Structure 1
Amino acid sequence: MRQGTSAGHYFQTDAEQALAERRAVKAGNKNGNPIELKSKLLAAIPDPSAPGSLLIAESTGSVRRVDVDAGETKHVFRGPSAPVTCVAAGGPGNNTVFAGSWDKDIWSWDLLTRTPGRKYSGHTDFVKAIVCAKIDSKNYLISGGADKKIIVWDVETGSRIHTIQDQTVSMMAIQSLAIDPLDSTPEAVVLVSGSSDPHIRRWRITSSAFEQIKETSPSEPNSVRHSILEHETTVYKLFFDTESEDVDLWTSSGDGTAKCLSRRKAFTTDDTIRHGDHVRAVTVTEQWIITAGRDEDVKVWDRASGKLYCTLDGHYNEVTDLVLLADGNRVSSVSIDGTVRTWSLHKSELDRINKEKDEKANGVEKETAPESGEGLMTAEEEAELAALMDED
């Protein structure tokens, strides 16, 4: 164990101090045009009222609306005194912001006026995931918590309609929720849940009842499984690819992989992306698969071949979420390091990044031509000036 002169170095292992020093060196980079905020960023979604903006869940207990094009904060929704872990937008007119918090409550605000709305209380532990749904033309909020429960709320009245738990396989803390846009109907939504155990569960929910959907294996027609089991540990993210013909389910996991679960194959694995370490987020375009997680990197994979195409390095702590922007050509990443970074997905830009990395690896320095030859100093003259400055 290393002892330093700084109070922060006491009781740190060599590995911990080396990690802190590496991150401190990396923190100054400008890759991805970072927008620096004052808190850890835990989740993000597109702002439905502004295509170039994000709604970001912050550890300081707020939801921040950030315009990534302008590089600035537009609004901050305040209320919770504990970290906000998840955010959703929906409700009447799609104009309500919902935020799940460590304080066990779900907070809400009017998206346009920023006026605080109803607070939903019922979980007995951290709220980890929230989604909005509409059943029989009525607005509902669905939340999942560290208390292993999924709760369905009437948005207007705040009343709890259903409390859902798996009765067959022990369900752990809920990590992610997603509405299946293909199997849902106006009368019933199909909800998919991921949790700290590797099981992915599907639920059919109406205004009066719910049921867990049993899965039938295409290779074993007579076998029934109560959950989808394609990962080895925690499922952090669930994402339906609405641009694909079959609207397949994409997942990311603590087992270091992101997977495409084929609808035609009863949600069994069709593609596996081996990102490495915990994969906290995944999103896709027609051309690319983008993953990110604990290793700090945003990785872009060729969707046709499944091979890694480009690594976007810039974050210096865990990346917690990815948001594909409305133009489809950029992705924003948010991180524990407190920055929002936005990356171009144009092939020409990814090729440029790859070329610069290759040149750096081969010892080729990028040349920057001076604007004018006047006023340039030799190395000896620069050293002499530095020495004079030190003397002063």
Structure 2
Amino acid sequence: MVVLYMKRFLLSSDLHSIKQSKTFYWGLRKESEECVCPLQRKRMSLVAGSYEKFIWGLTLKPQSQSLTPLFSYPSHLSSIKTVSVSGSVVASGGDDDTIHLYDLSTASSLGSLHQHSASVTALSFYAPPNLPFPRNLISADASGSLSIFDADGFVHLTTLSVHRNSAINDLALHPSGERALTVARDNCLAVVNLVRGRRNCCLRLDKEATLVKFNASGDHFFMATKEKVSVHQTEDARILFDMECSKPVLCAAPARNGLLYTGGEDKSIIAWDIKTGKVAYCLEDAHTSRVKGIVVLTDADGATGDDDPYLVASASSDGNIRVWDVRMAVREKPLAEYNTRSRLTCLAGTSLRFRRQRPQDGSKSKIVKRQRVETGKKGKVDDETIEG
């Protein structure tokens, strides 16, 4: 749990602006005090970034079927390009070359990371299945670099040059936490070994890919190149089939039931069956503007029981965030909706069921390189096992 290690934050030269925890703007409703409590069972939180430098937090309890503002905060100096959530920890990256960190359970800022020298374009947390909080944060930027942080104190471990002077469009982290895929403007797909901290290989693509995602098991991954989404086998990157969309795809989210949700310029949300490559169902005209983000919400363990609604959240560039119960795909109206009145660029969310726990004794990180932080001196890299 990141909040327990605030003393360690003060030791890191990569983490700035942590003199004390900043409280977000909560609005005028006294009822919103309920949001200060730790995330409870049957609650969903969504986080969105915008061109206007604001990060938005919303909460939904399926019983009330309404989205409630949790916070809005002008966190960056420039537009926000990416957000990522793991448990109660949120990270956002923007054109100001910084990563900002937040704690959802207390609605407070944890500070910022200034490791990058270019726009932060993609973020991804690694969290072991038995832990509700992340162990590592992986970030990519417009210079083609990939940075790895230890989430225990957000200490910078290493930076890898994956694509030479070419902006990374997207980053996908394997469920094992041992490897990552990146796609960039140099028309390449790179495979990065996160355990050894090096790039394994780089595959030349016919066209520039803008999105890359792993499925829940990690045995398949998906790439989007404009209107086409391709399904690949992880073992050898062999392409299985292509799925054609009417307009460019801007966002995608895999689900554990063998579906892949995509959204983009067509303003619709399409559910694809990744076993056949055919459309399972479609939420036509889900938004009045292009869809910029999709999140699939499940239980903390990834299960989707019959007694739980299967929820999909989407965000559009006109500022609307909507939540859909996909079991009622023929329903024209969303389950819940909120208008941020800003140009949204990205969306991330937590699981429905979340309980905060302390780290388990003896738990170890997949990444074994760690940077020693010394006051007034550059850090020295040692081979070390990171204990929980």
- Is the pair's TM-score, using the shorter chain for normalization, greater than 0.5? yes
State the aligned residue count.
275
Q: Aligned runs of 1:113-152 on 2, under 5 Å?
A: 113-133=106-126, 139-152=135-148
Correspondence for 2:7: none
Residue 211 of structure 1 is aligned with which of 191, 195, 198?
198
Distance 2:213 2:39 in 1: 17
TM-fit CA distance, 1:274: 0.7
Which residue, 215, 229, 252 being the options, matches 1:282? Answer: 252
**What is the rounded CA distance, in whole Å, between the counterparts of 1:60 and 1:271 in structure 2?**
38
Q: Which moved more, 1:292-301 or 1:122-131?
A: 292-301
Instruction: Decide which structure has greater helix share.
Output: 1
The offset of 1:338, in angstroms, is 0.6
Contact 1:119–1:158, Cα closer than 8 Å, also in 2: no
In the TM superposition, what whole-angstrom CA distance separates every residue of 1:124-146 from its partner, at most 9, and x where no partner exists? 221111122369x9943221111
User: In 2, are the aligned partners of 1:250 and 1:282 still within 8 Å (CA)?
Assistant: no
Higher relative contact order (CA 8 A, sep 6+): 2
Q: Calculate the aligned-residue CA RMSD, in Å.
A: 3.0
CA distance in 2, matches of 1:84, 1:306: 33
Q: 2:102 aligns with which of 109, 116, 132?
A: 109
Contact 1:258–1:291 (CA under 8 A) maintained in structure 2:
no
AA aligned to 1:181 is P
Aligned-partner residue type, residue 313 of structure 2: S
- In structure 1, C-alpha distance between the alignment counterparts of 2:49 and 2:112, rounded to whole Å: 16
TM-score (norm 2): 0.62
Q: Deviations over 1:9-30 (max 9, x none)?
A: xxxxxxxxxxxxxxxxxxxxxx
The equivalent position to 1:174 in structure 2, one of 163, 168, 174, is: 168
- Decide whether the 8 Å contact of 1:251 with 1:282 is kept in 2: no
Q: In structure 2, how many angstroms separate the alpha carbons of the residues matched to 1:53 and 1:109?
A: 13
- Does structure 1 conserve the Cα–Cα contact (< 8 Å) formed by 2:231 and 2:274? no
Contact 1:253-1:280 within 8 A present in 2 as well: no
What SS does the corresponding residue of 1:56 show, helix, strand or coil? Answer: strand
Deviations 1:19-47 (A, max 9, x none): xxxxxxxxxxxxxxxxxxxxxxxxxxxx9
Measure the CA separation in 2 of the matches of 1:178 and 1:48: 26
Q: Equivalents in 1 of 2:181, 2:113: separation in Å?
A: 21
Structure having the larger proportion of residues in strand? 2
The offset of 1:104, in angstroms, is: 0.8
- CA positional deviation for 1:292: 0.9
Determine helix, strand or coil for the equivalent of 1:98.
strand
| 1:272 and 2:242 are equivalent in the alignment | yes
What is the 5 A alignment of 1:224-303? 226-229=201-204, 232-236=207-211, 238-242=212-216, 244=217, 247-254=219-226, 256-264=227-235, 266-285=236-255, 286=257, 288-303=259-274
Structure 1 residue 158, shift from structure 2 partner: 5.1
Is 1:85 the counterpart of 2:81? The answer is yes
- The residue that corresponds to 2:350 in the other structure is none
Instruction: Give distance in 1, aligned partners of 2:125 and 2:237.
Output: 23
1:12-23, aligned counterparts within 5 Å?
none
% identical aligned pairs: 19
Cα distance change, pair 210–289 in 1 and its aligned pair in 2 (3 A): closer
Structure 1 residue ranges without an equivalent (≥5): 1-46, 214-225, 354-392
TM-score when scaled to structure 1? 0.62
In structure 2, stretches of 5+ residues that fail to align are 1-37, 299-307, 333-388
Offset from partner CA, 1:59-101 (integer Å, 9 cap, x none):
23232222343222122344223222212234xxx43221112
CA distance in 2, matches of 1:288, 1:229: 27
* 1:325 counterpart letter in structure 2: L
Q: 2:329 is paired with a residue of what secondary structure? A: helix
Structure 1 residue 333 corresponds to structure 2 residue 319: no
Structure 1, residues 180-212: CA drift from partner, whole Å, max 9, x if none? 114x4xxxx312212233322111123xx5121
Q: Which residue of 1 aligns with 2:288?
A: 316
Asked whether the equivalents of residues 248 and 262 of structure 1 are also in contact (C-alpha less than 8 Å), the reply is: yes
